[in-house]
Structure formats: C-alpha cells, structure tokens
Amino acid sequence: MERIGIGLAGLGTVGAGVYKHLIQNRVLISERVGLELAVRRIAVRNPDMVRTVHPPREIVTGRWEELIEDPAINILVELMGGIDTPYQFMMRALDAGKAVVTGNKALLAERGFEIFEKAADKGVPIFFEAAVAGGIPIIKSIREGFIGNHIESIHAILNGTSNYILSRMTEESMDFPEALREAQEQGYAEADPTLDVNGWDAAHKAIILASLAYGFWVGTSQIHVAGIDPITASDIRFADRLGYRIKLVATIRTNRDSLVEAHVHPTLVPKQHVLASVNGVFNALMVRGDIVGDTLFYGRGAGQDPTTSSVISDLAQAAIWYDSGGKAFGFTPHGLYGKCLPIERVSSGYYLRLSVVDEPGVLAQVASILGSHQIGISSVIQPEGHEGDAVPLVLIIHDAPFGKMWTAVQRIQSLACVKASPMLLWVLS
C-alpha cells in the first residue's frame, strides 16, 4: 500500500484531533482509501509546549517552511489560525505543487480570490470542508452531489455560539448578557466572542458558500452583516407571540437577473419552518437546487471531533488526487458570472419594535412615514401593562426594499414620540 506523506501545520484543538484520529483509525482509513496517510512532520509555534497529544519529538518543528521543503510530504494541512502566516504558507505550498487542506474560513473569505487563482494557475486543489459547518459535508455536497444543479438559494444557521445564546434566550427568557455568560461557562463561547455574536464568523462561511454556488468571490464589503447582541428578551417574546423564532440566518440566493443576495443577520423565522427548530450549538443548512429541490443538512458546526472528521475526509480526497497523478479531482471552478445585488435593493418583510410615548396619534405618525415610502404594515402589537413614559409598539412590515425601509426607520427615529433607537429585524421569506 502506497504511503502518502502528510505535513500538519498547527497542533491546537483541531490539529490535535486530526493527529489523534489519523493514528487511532489508521487501519480503517487505509482500507477505505487504499492508501496509507502518514503524518511525517508537524509545525507548531512552540515545540516545547505541553499538548494533549504526543507525537514523536523528531517530527515536530518550529518552522512551517520545513513542511513545504520536505520531499517526503505530499499534502499539507493548514490549521494554524489567523490570516497572514497561513496565507504565506498556502501560497508557498501551491507554488511547490502540494495540495492543501484547510479549515481557515477567515483566510478564505478575506484572501480566497488570490489563493484559488494561484491554485488554478498551478493545477493544485485546495480542500476546505472544515471551513464551513464543522462536520456537516456541505462543501462536498455542493461541489459533487449538486454538480448538475443551479443553486437557487441557501438559508443557513452557521454559528453554534449564536444559536445556543438565542436558544437559551427563548427557553429561559434570558437577556443577551446572561445567555452569553452561560455560553462561556459551558464552553460554547470564547472569552472574546466578538466574531460569533457580531455575525462575522457566519459571514465568512457564507462568503465561501456563495463562491461555490455562484462562481465568484463576494467581497467582505458586499455582504450585509448584523449581530445578535442587540436582541432583547422582549424581542424574543414578541416574536413568539407573532409566531416566530429569532435565529442568526445567512441567506445566499439568486434572482432572475442572476444577481446574488448575500446577507447575515438576526431573522424572524416562522415556527413551522425547519430552521426554527434548530437549537443549541447545532448548525443547519437548507439548499435548493433547480433539479434536486429542497435539501436539509443538520449537525454540529464546530468542536474538535466534527471539524476533525471533515479534515480527514479532505485528506482522503487529497490523497486520491495525488495518487492519481493529479487527475482525480472532478470539480473545477465555473465561470465568474455572478454579481451581488446591492443590499438596498434586497426585499424582505421586517419586524420593527419602537419605544414610543403612550398617547393618541403615534401609530398614525409611524404609518404615515411608512406609507410615504410605499411600505405597508401587516400587523401591529401594542402590549398593555407597561409602566413609565414609553411603551413598546411592534409592527410586522410587508416586503419592501431594505434601502427604503432603512430610510423610513431613520425618519421614524427622529419623531418626538419615539424615545429610543428602533429595533429592525428581517423576516425570513
């Protein structure tokens, strides 16, 4: 059985999992792939650090360059984290003609165009299943299972931390700070959870999915992103009363003019919709193809073992590519035909919560501004029993372009009867 040399850059949580399971499941993997995957060298920042796995000392190095220079290494795995050093590593690896496996979603979202341009020029593949949705095989499904489909839409919950927080806010009527503290205590949120709660972790994954589905790289300046930190327990309760759950949803879809929407933000999801029942740290993706129709993917979107599973799957594919002489990788990037639909032109329904003075004529003033922008109101809630000078006024708005809706909200905010910044959320359509 031919032995394929693996170079592993990074031995953190996922890197340790990859090393451990390549050793534990060595026989199973070899039997299924028909090749032996052997870790020949591991690059780490500090070779003397105590770790959860203990590779032979002689294969550990503090220089990632040694992995590229070693002729016995055929495939490189980038699990270092960050952007600048992994970018150098990947570009050098591609120049050397070595396939790369990575789970670095931020790097691919920020520098993917350059990396894949280099890969195409060198005729070397990049495998990145672990970059999106942990152990869910969504990348392979789009690249291979749906290869004959035009992807019409993807709606996805892509961040387990945010989903856990929103689930706990829904189950226990918690406010955001309390739910975040619990997520950190349970190990579901980092000490610095910024990228999770501000929406950008999910946005990086959405950019990668859009590139696969529509053949072009959505710039970080082109994707509309909002986080869950402004959501209150009151918003959760009002949404429930209206028949919705609030989820951080990534939407990627195309219209009749081949313009692509890409946006990530808290969204009211109807309770009967399958995404509304995705709770805790789980991820889910609904993908619609023009041939296959609607499909659903569900599973853990992060953590050592789910992500390790995806990395090892990519390693097996990369080994087959190498063993075939570079001819066994069927998916190729399709034409760069896509363009983004400006967020101002994207239409949706909306949830609008206002804090207003409790006096006659307030709703008429709000409705007048919305009407002047050709925006209609679907339903209104004004709960009773609130003390103080201001009371909540909650409206569900008919579909309207986001640009018009945002302009109307700015005018509404300037009304003397409005006492706090409005809360504007999208409704899944």
Q: Which residues are marked as active site?
A: 205
Q: Which amino acid is at 171?
A: E
The residues pairing with 396 across neighbouring beta strands, listed in sequence order, are 351, 379
The answer to whether 56 and 23 have CB atoms below 8 angstroms apart is: no
